[in-house]
Amino acid sequence: MYNDKNLACADCGQEFVFTASEQDFYGQRGFTEPRRCPSCRASRKAARGGAEGAGGGSSYGGYGAGGGYSAGGSSSYGGGGGGGGGGYG
């Protein structure tokens, strides 16, 4: 169904292969083609704090849950929100 594609990295300009299996994975999840090569993606992830990217996804749920506790969410936004996220997760 998919064929390997050569793409150019938006950061370093290096050409990288977007494999057929990666295209299938991205397509199933509704993602667009990657704009950066794997090494530039890893560098950006590390610059963001690495796990923070994954934590950011779960913290949205935490904030959503924290929003339900309006008093707790506003008085201890960071600590309470994180605790709420952990409780639901």
Q: Are residues 42 and 57 in the same domain?
A: no
Task: Kindly report the pTM of this predicted structure.
Answer: 0.51
Q: Of 35, 31, 32, which Cα lies nearest the Cα of 10?
A: 35
Range of the domain at 76: 51-88
Tell me the DSSP string of 4-68.
Answer: -EEEE-TTT--EEEE-HHHHHHHHHHTPPPPSS-HHHHHHHHHHHTTHHHHHHHHHHHHHHHHHH
Domain count, the chain: 2
Instruction: Give the per-residue pLDDT at 49.
Output: 86
Q: Are residues 36 and 66 in the same domain?
A: no
- Yes or no: say if 27 and 14 are a contact pair by the CB < 8 Å rule: no
Q: Are residues 35 and 61 in the same domain?
A: no
pLDDT along the chain (89 residues), means of 10: 94 96 97 96 91 46 44 46 47
Instruction: Give the per-residue pLDDT at 1.
Output: 80
Q: Are residues 37 and 59 in the same domain?
A: no
Q: Are residues 57 and 69 in the same domain?
A: yes
Q: Are residues 28 and 56 in the same domain?
A: no
Q: Are residues 9 and 41 in the same domain?
A: yes
